[in-house]
Structure 1
Amino acid sequence: MAEREQQEQYKARWKLIGPGIVVAATGVGSGDMVASLVAGERFGYALLWAVVVGCVVKIALAEATGRWHLASGQTIFDGWRGMGVWTFVFFAPYIVIWGFVYGATAMSATALPLQALFPAVPLWVFAVAAGITGLLFVWFNRYPVLERVMTVLVGLLFVTVVGLAVYLVPDLGSLAGGLVPSTPEDSLFYTLGLIGGVGGTITMAAYGFWVNAKGWRSPAWIRMMRLDNRVAYITTGVFVVAMLIVGAELLHTAQIAMAEGDEGLITLAEVLRERFGTFVSVVFLVGFFAAAYSSLLGVWHGVSLMFADFVGNIRGRADRSVEERETSWEFRAFLLWLTFPSMLLLLLDRPIALVIAYGVLGSAFMPFLAFTLMWLLNTRRTPREWRSGILSNTGLAVAGALFLVLCGQEVWNRITGV
């Protein structure tokens, strides 16, 4: 009887998993798919270990974000406000510029697979439709509906992308060999990119807000949050490994070069059509769409929620519930900002200065998040029993150092034009 009750409790815990699915679906966009595909195409399975390291680093970072929200009873912005005004001075231009540029990126990425399926329709039509449908969905729905839709999109992504990797029958010996750390010639850039890019965006900070939106608002939920977080990044790792397998088995062995950017996924769809027929190509494009559109929905909701709390802190309204933030004017103002001004970038070349600011601020955010969390979770701001231990501090330190290197590399590339 006791064993049966334990099994029922275990099943109940698994049914509660949700914020992790949302953060996994949001974090794995077309950029992560392209990065892992290119790594597989150029280096085979040699960089598989970097994917594993990236997942471990993100587990440490997301766990710290969720633990701060639950243990302190405050949001990340409450914590940053207590560290000084410099945190808000950094974040204000970051979120405005990031939202402007990312909005266009997300809409374009979502439009690419749709145009490949329906080539008679211009790309901008699908891009505008993606932005507006994302706006309307988030405007009129709350977090529970978002979670259900994201679960469906993750299911689509899993069936299509992981199914394709299994269909290609990977070389298990080479796959296992890729778990041994190695850095082939000219692979440093791709290695750092894989470690830093496995679902790593501003949505890492949004995870704490989704945890609260789920109804988890006290230290009693920390154990559940940790399970949810591990499921999220193991799922993320499976997706990225699947794309690495596709790159290694389909492109690396045939010496097929990838196109740059998201267009590389269209190149892959064409290769799949030539080798396996239209059906397999269409199935992959559906998975591509699920990855891109889930990222769009997650950012439209999660980052707008962060912006609402950010402005609320400035206005002295930091005590609002998630439900109140979801219907606030700040939330909806940022939704509009992500959608309509960004459409201008679909029609015009991106201004060089804006792109440079976007790249530098974006690369600086992750070390900023890692080191500020490390500070907050080791001070009296956090109850003693929930402060970071050796394992968490090591994970946050490694994450911060790694992202600091990536930030320096990004700044150098912007200065030199490499």
Structure 2
Amino acid sequence: MSQQTRDDLTDTPPRWKLLGPGLVVAATGVGAADLVATLVAGSQYGYALLWCAVLGCLMKIVLVEGAGRWSLATGKTIYEGWTSLGRWTTWYFGPYIVVWGFVYGAAAMAGTGLPLHSLFPVLSVKAWGIISGLAGLALVWSGRYGVFEKVLGIFVLLMFVTMVGAAALTLPNLGEIATGLVPLVPGGGLVYVLSLAGGVGGTITLAAYGYWLREKGWITPRHMRVMRIDNSVAYAVTGLFVVATLIVGAELLYSAGIAVSTGDQGLLDLSQVLADRYGRAAGTVFLVGFWAAAMSSLVGVWNGVSLMFADFVGHVRGLDAEDPARRAGGTWYRAYILWLTFPPMVMLFLGQPVWLILAYGVLGAFFMPFLAVTLMWLLNSDRTPREWRNKLHSNLAMGLCALAFLALCVNEVRKAVTAA
């Protein structure tokens, strides 16, 4: 056996380890807000927008594969790639990650507090949210990726079983599901098309994929095939999960003319509908799935975006790429976890300042177009080894993603400015 063959065998993980970072990024990206958006779409349009949910998952596969390909082909993080494009990337990303973390921390804790308060009303939503934030901090503080991945795997299982189980309870019409795969935009449904296609499956957490690959130990081009399997299977699972959510909205709500609230409250409404229709146990099980979806996003962000922040600060300060302060468990990694956890607690009690929400909405709306465009730039230039640069089909797919996210960006900025 040649040395090359031995190296390939050494670098290829066992089959049972072929999944990991992809499932982490998918689970982190699908939070309570995504579930409600999908649920409301199903309740208002039935199966007419099913194709959007599928398209959204395909778009995320394209972008996450690009982020993973960049990391494995170059050995550099996505932030190092951005800085090679000019200082403007730092001027955008620095304020974005700071503002985003502050607002997201409050939203994530409130999102986990809602189902826990419904399950155990002995404490308030705020109290349960704070406990969840502290639990997230404890889970990721050491930076041990193996423990983090196993915890996310448990959350994914709970999410999948509860939502797919709820869909199965509704006895869906398979013929109508098939018609929902035909790309049609119902009257007044354009905003939902953009939101479903663009929102399902994550925003900034997509860019964290390369960091999770590194923590997993997948760091060379030899892991490229494994990465692609991991990414595709993870978003296939996500797709089934999102389709199940839309089925629940279409069968349980649309057919009965039942409306649910926007925001995380919509999932509480659904748990009550399930309890009324199928018994209290069904509502309780769904609340557990709701909590798992919210908690998986919280824990994933507490780890993944903290890794991105540590890399950002370390790069700005001129620290070596392997400096412990830029890695999991390091100084700046832990500093961002604290930023996600404690300052946002103030917002839980005092409300959210309009100017901060405006900045969050505007900066956040630009992130997905920013990611799509910069990935295309990086993967078509000599910054990427020729073998791993974009082919025609990759450019077409990323180009369509960029256009879709630009349209969503314009809509989100318009909404944020109007709300202000």
Alignment TM class, shorter chain as reference: over 0.9
- The one of 231, 246, 249 aligned to 1:247: 249
Alpha-carbon distance in 2 for matches of 1:254, 1:344: 40
Letter in 1 for 2:363: L
What is the percent sequence identity of the aligned residues?
Answer: 56
The equivalent residue for 2:305 is 303
Contact 1:209/1:305, CA 8 A, preserved across alignment: yes
**Residue 117, structure 1, aligned to residue 110, structure 2:** no
Structure 2 residues not aligned, in runs of 5+? 1-10
1:378 aligns with 2:380: yes
How far apart in 1 are the matches of 2:113 and 2:67?
32
Amino acid at match of 1:51: A
Q: For the residues of structure 2 that align with 1:222 and 1:146, how far apart are their CA atoms?
A: 23
The partner residue of 2:44 within 18, 42, 45 is 42
Q: Secondary structure at the match of 2:193?
A: helix
> CA 1:253–1:323 in structure 2 vs 1: closer, same or farther (change >3 Å)?
farther
TM-score, normalised relative to structure 2: 0.95
Give the aligned residue type for 2:340.
L
Name the SS for the 1:170 alignment partner. coil
Asked if 2 retains the 8 angstrom alpha-carbon contact of 1:212 and 1:322, the reply is no
Matched residues in 1 for 2:142 and 2:29: separation? 23
* DSSP-derived class of the 2:237 partner: helix
For 1:204, the aligned partner's letter is: L
Aligned pairs (5 A) from 1:375-414: 375-414=377-416
* Aligned mate of 1:237, from 232, 235, 239: 239
> Where does residue 286 of structure 2 map in the other structure?
284
The corresponding residue for 1:76 is 78
Rounded to whole Å, the distance in 1 between the matches of 2:15 and 2:137 is 32
Structure 2 residue 351 is matched with structure 1 residue 345? no
Q: What is the distance in 1 between the residues matched to 2:398 and 2:214? A: 22
Q: CA deviation at 1:395?
A: 1.4
Shift in alpha-carbon separation, 1:186–1:20, aligned structure 2, 3 A: same
Match among 184, 191, 194 for residue 193 of structure 2: 191
Separation (CA, whole Å) in 1 of partners of 2:320 and 2:42: 45
Q: Which runs of 5 or more residues in structure 1 are unaligned?
A: 1-8
Aligned to 2:101: 99
Alignment-mate amino acid for residue 14 of structure 2: A
Contact 1:213 1:323 in 2 (8 A): no
Task: Tell me whether 1:63 sits opposite 2:94 in the alignment.
Answer: no
Matches within 5 A, 1:1-40: 12-40=14-42
1:167 aligns with 2:165: no
User: Is contact 1:198–1:237 with CA below 8 Å preserved after alignment?
Assistant: no
How far apart, in 1, do the equivalents of 2:352 and 2:13 lie?
A: 49
Distance 2:207 2:273 in 1: 37
| TM-aligned CA deviation for residue 10 of structure 1 | 11
Give the deviation of 1:167 after TM superposition.
1.8
Q: Tell me how far apart the structure 1 counterparts of residues 91 and 31 of structure 2 sit (CA, whole Å).
A: 28
**TM-align CA RMSD:** 1.6
Deviation of residue 318 (structure 1)?
A: 4.5
Deviates more, 1:10-19 or 1:213-222: 10-19
Equivalent position amino acid for 1:176 in 2:
A
Provide the C-alpha distance between the structure 1 equivalents of 2:418 and 2:105, rounded to a whole number of angstroms.
27
Please report how far the alpha carbon of residue 321 of structure 1 lies from its aligned counterpart in structure 2 after TM superposition.
6.9
1:158 alignment counterpart: 160
Matched residue type, 2:300: G
Deviations 1:327-368, CA, capped at 9 Å, x for gaps: 211001000000000011101121111101000100101100
1:414 Cα shift? 2.1
Question: Retained in 2: the 8 A contact 1:135–1:300?
Answer: yes
Q: What is the aligned partner in structure 2 of residue 314 from structure 1?
A: 316
Partners of 2:285 and 2:59 lie apart in 1 by: 31
- Structure 2 residue identity aligned to 1:384: R
- Asked if the contact 2:12/2:222 (under 8 Å) is kept, the reply is no
User: Residue 88 of structure 2 corresponds to which residue in structure 1?
Assistant: 86
Match of 2:6 in 1: none
- CA drift of 1:12 comes to 3.2
Distance 1:144 1:384 in 2: 33
1:64/1:373 contact within 8 Å kept: yes
Q: Match for residue 259 of structure 1?
A: 261
The answer to whether the Cα contact below 8 Å between 2:32 and 2:293 also exists between their aligned partners in 1 is yes
Once the two structures are superposed, residues 10-50 of structure 1 have per-residue CA deviations (whole angstroms, 9 ceiling, x without a partner) of 99335321001111110110011001100000000000000
How far apart in 1 are the matches of 2:200 and 2:254?
A: 21
Q: Is the 8 A contact 1:305 1:331 kept in 2?
A: yes
User: 1:209–1:322: 8 Å Cα contact kept in structure 2?
Assistant: no
Q: Give the secondary-structure state (helix, strand or coil) at the position aligned to 1:31.
A: helix
Q: Distance in 1 between matches of 2:102 and 2:409?
A: 20
1:182-221 correspondence runs (5 A): 182-221=184-223
What secondary structure does 2:208 align onto?
helix
| Paired residue secondary structure (2:366) | helix
1:195-226, Cα deviation, whole Å (9 max, x unpaired): 00111210000011001111011111111100
Tell me whether 162-171 or 377-386 shows the greater mean CA deviation.
Answer: 162-171
Tell me the distance in 1 between the aligned counterparts of 2:288 and 2:271.
Answer: 10
Q: Answer yes or no: is the 8 Å Cα contact 2:326–2:333 preserved in 1.
A: no
SS at match of 1:83: coil
Equivalent in the alignment of 1:3 = none
- What is the alpha-carbon distance in structure 2 between the residues aligned to residue 399 and residue 289 of structure 1? 30
CA distance in 2, matches of 1:246, 1:322: 46
